[in-house]
Structure 1
Amino acid sequence: MIGTIATIFGDVPIEKATEWGLVEHYFEPIKNLFLNSDVTEIFIDRFDNISIEKNGQIENTPAKFESEIALQSFIVQIARCLGQQVDEDRPILDARLPDCSRLCCTLPTVSPQGATMTLRVVPKSLITAEQLVEFGALTQTMLDFLIEHIRYGSNIIVSGNTGSGKTTILRALAKYIPHAERVITCEDTQELYLDWLKYKVSLEAPKRPNSDVEMKHLIEAALRMRPDRIWVGEIRRASAADAFLQAINTGHSGCVTTLHANSCQDAVSRLQYLIASAGLISYELAGKQIVGAVNVLIHASRHPDYGRKVTEISIIDNGQVKPLFTFNTTTLKHEAISHVNGSISGNS
């Protein structure tokens, strides 16, 4: 068994200690930002232009790298440690640090102003569903409704814009999955880390050059692993959308995924478009299969006026998306739509 040592990035193999030590050397200009528990994102837009997201707001920092060469050396060294390649021919690095922090880096081939890095810092402690209520992201009534559907095994789609808290919502709701169930997670870059579940397997698309394995293949593999639930990270490609649709239309319940969309209704349309664009089934048939298998839609939003909120929860009822809860952007309060019955029955 290979030994490991602890670094600020998590545990790394002993034989790579020197290489990761060099990463820590280059990392020094942003080390304090990374270790700050209130910082959720670090944005390096140029070697001398670094900002952070803290408590939902972006703010400038005096931090900077010594030079463009220093920043590029940092990026190249990270890639080397992770067994990935980044150079003029492969100028984009999409990677995960050992502690599960995510980063996306570019070289001047695609970012003429200089190398860049967007680092999503893994939470130092996971936010609970109760904290989401305390922060005003949703109400207790909304949470109770979602907990009921998680325990029941409803199929759920969570949509929203970048940084709206989709993954945070999923992690919080995952606490209510019955612990006797076998859960398979499929992600391009691992973010869910549902480590408290006893029967959990995490699948992640490899970042090695020339790898043909993508989300579609992970979902197909999960279907052969006798899952009780399949939780899929963000769907971006038609092939992944189609694989997810096949999963929820072959008797699998409790499946969840996320995608970028502008509303619950738009989430259905976007998934429908992705599936139809693969050319395997028509747009109309894709829509029928989605509304026939999905039970609940959750939409989250990040906005400078109100921060991160769950702005809509809808159900699929008789093939139609029907809102149960919405967020009023004028009063800044959540509102229940009383004329819709949100109890668990039929497709809802």
Structure 2
Amino acid sequence: MALEFESTDWLEHEEKQKEKIIEDIARELAQKHPDFLSSTGIFADKKYLEAVIRKAVLARTDLTPEEKEEAVTVIMGQATGYGVLQDFFGPRASEITEIFINPTKDGPRVFYSMRGKTYAAAKQYFKNNEEVLRYCQKICDDVGRPFTEDASIVDAWLKDGSRIAVIGFKTSPLGVAATIRKSPLTRPPMPLEKLVENQMLPQFVADMLVNLLVHGHANLGIFGRTDSGKTTFLRALGLHIDPQERTFIAETSFEMFMPHLENCINLVEVSYGDRTIVDMAQLCRTMNRNNPDRAIVGEIRSKEIIAASQIASSTSGGFWTTGHAGDINSLRTRLWGMFMDGNVHLPKEFLDEVIASMFHFVIFVDKETITEERKRTFMELVEVIPGEGYRTIIKFDAHAFAESRGRERRWIYTNPITEERLSMLAFRGAKLIPEYEKVHEKYLQ
């Protein structure tokens, strides 16, 4: 009787053969180039790395053209630490900010976020939950954060500084879930001009923020809900900081790298396992001792508000931060709670004085959900006036937007910045023009 094979046996055999060939190529490259798998030295240049891999793969005659492309992707993933998700980290994916792995009853699905909108990936990157588990466990193990049943929620980092938040085992019954927020090293700051083009804010407001708040070294807070564009907006403004200024940036995860700042120090929290070795409060105190020209604190969430407030009140060059709040009232509530987290029982009647000592201006951003584009939107610029309260300078006309079902996007120039504050900003380097001293046009587009 002739030997019989199921078609699936042949497919499995061919798949194993292909995997073996890819492993052989990767091993030969690693032997020839010791720095290959560490992505250091000349191999830190991703274009050069891909060129070396592609040359080795194309030399093989035992792979089809389609298999050769797959081999390049797989080996690139091994070398960079991106694994099967390499597609989301290449030069053509620079606008992608986050990648999501979602478990479903039909298997893992991958989504990605770009320009503030989420898309489903057309390709199947993981065949089953076991592949997702192995992928996430390798990343976590590499940075000393084991992902196990006893540690079912873990934050870890890829080689390039991208942050991955993993949830699995009994905590996520359908399978492993993960969110990767790409490192700022792989996604340069988006220019303000691009935000204007995307209708996040009008050109007049962009110019005003740069001429007055950035050049005038104002203390600034940018607030909004998750995925409203806080970090994107801050980094866009950061492109207009003088590269020679001594700048310190402290954050919980590496998100605010600004490549044009030559005299900049980036500080990030350090954790091992469930233990935080260096926290935001310590980073803020370190920044304060170094007397920076600019002090930027990534998203304030809790007790680090105490150290951040000390930086804000003592730095002479401008304090910037971000946080979760949709308007002045929610900001006041959030900040009061943060001080409580730090065991500082701040009398509510003193809260506005503390906010005035921290910020000259606060900006609120949000993401609309009426239109399909779901555009991130500059909502309001508010001047904080010591002893008086809060003065709206410019705000988004939400009423006109809602009435027109998203067709009308305009901003209302409500009040000019106070004369006293304009004088202070000018003293610190702001560029003044008549349009900043008096409202000439009520509606901005």
Contact 1:158 1:166 in 2 (8 A): yes
Shift of the 197–271 alpha-carbon distance from structure 1 to 2, 3 Å rule, reads same
Given the alignment, which residue of 34, 37, 44 partners 1:6? 44
Partner of 2:157: 96
**Alignment match, 2:23:** none
Q: Any conservation in 2 of the 1:10–1:99 contact (CA below 8 Å)?
A: no
Indicate which of 144, 161, 167 corresponds to 1:83: 144
Q: Is the 1:249–1:289 contact (alpha carbons within 8 Å) kept by the matching residues of 2?
A: no
Q: Which of 197, 200, 207 is matched with 1:137 structurally?
A: 200
**Which residue of the partner structure matches residue 40 of structure 1?**
97
**Deviation at 1:24?**
6.5
2:21 is matched with which residue? none
TM-score (norm 1): 0.87
Query: 3-state DSSP class of the match of 2:272?
Result: coil
CA distance in 2, matches of 1:38, 1:200: 24
Higher strand share: 1
Residues 283-294 of structure 1 aligned to structure 2 (within 5 Å)? 283-284=347-348, 285-294=350-359
Q: Which amino acid aligns with 1:6?
A: A
What is the CA-CA distance between 1:20 and the residue it aligns to?
A: 9.6
Counterpart-to-counterpart distance in 2, 1:224 and 1:37:
36
Please give the secondary structure, in 2, of the residue aligned with 1:249: helix
How far did 1:234 drift?
0.8
**1:267 maps onto 2:313 in alignment:** no
**Which structure shows the higher helix fraction?**
2
Residues 230-284 of structure 1, C-alpha deviations (whole Å, 9 max, x = no match): 10001111x2111111211235440111111122442233123211342324232
Unaligned runs of 5+ in 2: 1-37, 50-74, 402-407, 426-445
Note the C-alpha offset of 1:74.
Answer: 0.6
Greater relative CO, 1 or 2 (CA 8 Å, sep 6+): 1
- C-alpha contact 2:306 2:339 (8 A) present in aligned 1: yes
Deviation at residue 303 of structure 1 after TM alignment: 2.4
Query: Structure 1 residues 94, 334: closer, same or farther in 2, change over 3 A?
Result: farther
1:120 to 181, 185, 189: 181
CA displacement, residues 20-43 of structure 1 (integer Å, 9 cap, x when unaligned): 965868832x33244334433221
Q: Hey, what's the Cα distance between the residues in 1 that align with 2:283 and 2:47?
A: 26
- Looking at structure 1, the residues matched to 242 and 94 of structure 2 have their Cα atoms a distance apart, in angstroms, of 30
Q: Judge which range, 118-127 or 188-197, deviates more.
A: 118-127
Q: 1:187-336 to 2 correspondence within 5 Å?
A: 187-209=251-273, 210-237=275-302, 239-284=303-348, 285-305=350-370, 306-318=374-386, 319-329=388-398, 330-331=400-401, 332-336=408-412
CA contact (8 A) 1:265 1:321 kept: no
How many positions carry a matched residue from both structures?
338
The change in CA–CA distance for 1:59 and 1:52 in structure 2 (over 3 A counts) is same
Deviations 1:201-241 (A, max 9, x none): 1101113222331111100011111211210001111x211
Task: Give 1:126's aligned amino acid.
Answer: P
The answer (yes or no) to whether the contact 1:186–1:215 under 8 Å persists in 2 is yes
Larger gyration radius, structure 1 or structure 2: 2
Give the equivalent residue in structure 1 for 2:83.
Answer: 27
Aligned equivalents of 2:47 and 2:219: distance in 1? Answer: 34
Is the partner of 2:215 in helix, strand or coil? helix
What TM-score, normalized by structure 2, do the two folds share?
0.69
Q: Which letter maps to 2:142? A: C
Q: Give CA deviations for 1:150-192 in whole Å, capped at 9, x if unaligned.
A: 1111111110111111111111111222233211100110111
1:277/1:33 CA distance change after superposition, 3 Å: closer
**Bigger mean CA deviation after superposition, 190-199 or 59-68:** 59-68
- Once the 2 structures are TM-superposed, how far is the Cα of residue 346 of structure 1 from its aligned partner? 7.2
Q: Percent sequence identity over matched residues?
A: 24
